[in-house]
Chains A and B, each alone.
Chain A
Amino acid sequence: MKKVFTEAAANSKDYQALTEVLTHKTPEAVITEVKKSNLRGRGGAGFPTGVKWSFMPNNEVAPVKYLVCNADEGEPGTFKDRFIINQMPHKLIEGMIISGYAIGAKVGYIYIRGEFRKEAEFLQTAINKAYSDGWLGKNILGKNFTFDLFLYRGAGAYICGEETALLNSLEGKRGEPRLKPPYPAQVGAFSKPSCVNNVETLANIPWIMLHGGEAFAKLGTEKSGGTRLYSMSGHLQHPGIYEFSPTLTLREAIQEAGGVRGGKKLKAVIPGGASAPMLRADEIDVCIDFDSLASVGSMAGSGGIIVMDETTCIVEAALVLLKFYAHESCGQCSQCREGSPWLSRIFQRIENGQGKLADLELIEDLCKNMAMQTICAFSDAVTGPALSSIHKFKEEFIQHIESGACPLKNHQAKRV
């Protein structure tokens, strides 16, 4: 079985792993196994999951702890958590029960993106079923372990995917990221130690419990275990969800998805969700794991691969993302609140043919002042598309500026 989700998970019996764990494994053993698996967070940052779990204080110091599942999936170009929820909700629920057992949490929350209305209903039905089948609630399998699971719907803000904004939102407060420290493992949901994990991260746990950490580790690279779900979108012959080993290169991944549609030439790829700096067509012979993509100045992030063919105007592509960011900044930090819309305006005027060469320098400066200076990584993320586009496609920007129009379209300059 070479794939976690698309082969094994779909076939294996739900709650088999949970039964296994509750009868044979201590919580410590679960954590050890997850550490062995080299599972890294699928939410974007790629933090080793076992290590994150071991930060949780023990039951004596902290009798009340929470496990929180991040199902806010808002990163443009990412839709794999929705796939899991729709296709195998019980893998997520089972993964959460095991994870709760491992970290000593008796309560779990799933924070689901507001727009996922149908998914929320579906997931709630699955949770109800798990309750009626005795997988959730008091004394699961007659053991001394209780786990309750609650579904909480967001209200439609991308920033609530950031784990501390998510916690605030879960508590009914404004969805704004918190200052760290203290980290969620110290002060999380409702001021209790909490562990926030992505849907895909948690849905991997049953497989790891059934097949062992080492088997999972072998599916990936040396530093990142397991296969991953990649959301392939854009100008592809067959866009959709693909499960790849991260040892695959970006070029191979694109080929798996049928290549660029309509026989067009590839122009650029965003390899890890909107905030990942874009790569040029000549930079795609790189593996799609966290470290390889980081080594070429981009990131694997949430595994959202956005493919753009030769008809794409890079200025406009970046503009679309910057508009998104301008709209989604929570507005706490000066740089991000004011910088995100400012960048989007500059890109807009360049796209409109009203840019100046000095704008390119201004973009660089603004990005320098926005990166690494704020409460959360959002502001850094904004600089991803802004900087990579002007660095990698400078000629195209200059063309816009010098010709006073978008060279790829004969559309009227429009102002949005």
Chain B
Amino acid sequence: MDLSNTDTTKTKTKAPQQITIDGQSLSFTPGETIMQVAERAGISKRIAHFCYHPSLSIAGTCRMCAVEVEKVAKLMTSCSTPATNGMVVYTNSEKVKASRNGVMEFLLANHPLDCPVCDQAGECSLQEYNYEYGPSTSRFGDSEEKRVFENATTLKLSPLITLNMNRCIHCERCVRFCAEITETHELLMVNRGHHKELTLADPSKGLTSDYQGCLADVCPVGALTFNDFRFKKRVWFLKQHPSICDGCSRGCNIEVHSEDDIVYRYTPRFNQEINKHWMCDEGRLSYHRGHDKNRIVAPYFEGHECEWHTLLADFTKSLKSSKSALVVFTTDATSEEVATLTSLLPQLHKGGPINFRYISSTPDENPNENQDENQDQLLRRKDKTPNRQGVASKLSPISEADFQSFNDLVIIFKGSTSKLPRLAFSSSKHLYLWGVFLLEDLENIRASNPNIRGVLPGVHTLEKSGSYTNCDGITQTFTAAIRPPKLCVPVERILSKILTTVTAEGEAK
């Protein structure tokens, strides 16, 4: 809705625009709604709401956000009412509370009240508000049958999303999301009044957008749920930790939900500049990679698991004795890992030059081509690694010549769980893999480089702290959301281990 076209334009004066909410005087820019002012002031929690979503257009239909405005007889919906100068608003007057109670009673009248078997329980607006407002007993009547939609309880809208229409409160956030954000118009309401039903625009296709998980996010109740998470865990068991999605170079801000170092889901975390409230499904599901059963989680030396000290002794020796070493970073390394390794490794490598390069991620394309662009109109990027800009700002991309000149020791450093790029080189005497690798990565590398001497198991994004610079040059830091497997260690710990050993040896001599 175009709010600029409202009465507020009349109040365009030089004097500061003030509105009072619950006795607190707040300034605003003409055009802002009461809800937006409250949001900016951090007091929007006081205004219960369902259909309002800060990143979607205003529907003004649930009527839950009604507040009392002095000198106005009717309650006004704060999501749709523009603030005007001198307006005095009460968000919790008796009249407001009565109205909220009313809305809750209406919404619950036909609601199945199946919280015990509903996956939204614990993060459901309806459930949450019912503690504060809403009836404790139903006046709907036991003899009355509740509204039941046909086939409604577990309708798969796609492999990713399930709809339970009986729980829907008709806020139409999902409809607006598909219309306004993905512009795919996959969902719509059919029929009228209490028969109004959410429906796929094309049932033969189902949902097809790459952002379906967001539908479960925007749905304030358990009507739309994300199949990947459905019934996996009650949400109150989950610990949340802010992080960055490393699924592509966008770097969407996320919340990592885990219990006992096992991640159960990602949810997008609001960031106005980067991802607003959204994230793509590919990124959302990428947490699975962190728990890949084939991840190499123990030190590896000449084809066998080994003790860390065995591997480190060999590694240190190789470093020292090599004449020319090449260290290749993948672009899912953190900027800190690049900085640490580029400054400390030369101290251990006495034999000659040590060269640092990076290799582009996109596995199927030319790895040397520094290409990254939007994959759609929203968030997804073609580069499926999180830190190309950060790495490329310090290092040059790898070239054929690099392999020719430095072939006596090659270290490949892989920072996280992105797909291993195609390594266009073969046979080096000593090849070490450092970081996060899968068994199949070893297979792939071995095809052209049979001599994998050792693997130093590292940690991925969720297990460490660091920073990535996204496709727009925005640098974002993060800290560990979970603890890594026992034998996977961050770069600085390995280096300090090596350095202390080397120093001790030096002193012993």
Contact = CB atoms under 8 A, between A and B. Distances in A.
Interface of A: 157, 159, 174, 179, 181-182, 186-187, 326-335, 337-342, 345-346, 349, 354, 362, 365, 368-370, 372-375
B170 A331 contact: yes
A187 B66 CA distance: 24
Contact of A335 (B74, B102, B141, B143): B102
Contacts of A335: 63, 102-103, 106
Contacts of A341: 193-194
Determine which residue in B98, B143, B170, B192 has the highest number of CB atoms from chain A within 10 A of its CB, and name it: B192
B61 A372 contact: no
A159 B193 CA distance: 10
B137 to A, nearest CB: 12
Given A328-B193, A345-B144, 17 more contacts: A174-B189, A186-B6, A326-B193, A329-B193, A331-B170, A331-B189, A331-B194, A334-B61, A337-B106, A337-B170, A338-B109, A354-B143, A368-B98, A369-B101, A373-B63, A373-B66, A373-B75
Contact of A330 (B66, B107, B193): B193
Contact of B5 (A187, A328, A339, A354): A187
B99 A369 contact: yes
B196 A337 contact: yes
Given A157-B192, A373-B102, A333 B63 contact: yes
B58 A369 contact: no
Contacts of B196: 331, 337
B450 to A, nearest CB: 66
A340 B103 CA distance: 13
A338 B110 contact: yes
Nearest to A174: B189
B194 A329 contact: yes
Contact of A362 (B74, B139, B169): B139
B142 to A, nearest CB: 12
B60 interface: yes
A346 B139 CA distance: 11
A317 B262 CA distance: 62
Given A187-B5, A369-B102, A334 B62 contact: yes
Q: DSSP class of A's interface residues: helix, strand, loop or mixed?
A: helix
Nearest to A338: B106
Interface string B353-379: 000000000000000000000000000
3 closest A-B pairs by CB: A369-B102, A338-B106, A331-B196
Interface of B: 1-2, 5-7, 50, 58-64, 66, 73-75, 77, 80, 82, 98-99, 101-103, 105-107, 109-110, 139-141, 143-144, 169-170, 189, 191-196
Contacts of A346: 141
A330 B102 CA distance: 19
B457 to A, nearest CB: 54
Contacts of B102: 335, 365, 368-370, 373
Nearest to A159: B192
A369 to B, nearest CB: 3
Contacts of A370: 102
Q: DSSP class of B's interface residues: helix, strand, loop or mixed?
A: loop
B204 to A, nearest CB: 22
A373 B63 CA distance: 7
Contact of A369 (B59, B106, B169, B189): B106
A183 to B, nearest CB: 9
Given A174-B189, A179-B80, A338 B194 contact: yes
A187 B2 CA distance: 9
A327 B192 CA distance: 8
A300 to B, nearest CB: 21
A246 B66 CA distance: 38
A338 B107 contact: yes
A327 B74 CA distance: 26
A340 B194 contact: yes
Given A340-B193, A373-B63, A182 B99 contact: no
B1 A179 contact: yes
Contacts of B103: 334-335, 369
A369 B192 contact: no
B61 A375 contact: yes
Contacts of A157: 192
Nearest to B8: A181
A175 to B, nearest CB: 8
Contact of A329 (B62, B75, B77, B192): B192
A181 to B, nearest CB: 4
Nearest to A336: B193
17 contacts: A179-B60, A182-B2, A186-B6, A187-B5, A329-B192, A330-B192, A334-B64, A338-B106, A338-B107, A338-B109, A346-B141, A349-B144, A368-B98, A368-B102, A370-B102, A372-B74, A374-B63
B194 A337 contact: yes
A335 B59 CA distance: 15
A332 B233 CA distance: 33
Contacts of A337: 106, 170, 193-194, 196
Nearest to A187: B5
Contacts of B5: 181-182, 186-187
Contacts of B80: 179
A248 B317 CA distance: 111
Contacts of B194: 326, 329, 331, 337-338, 340-341
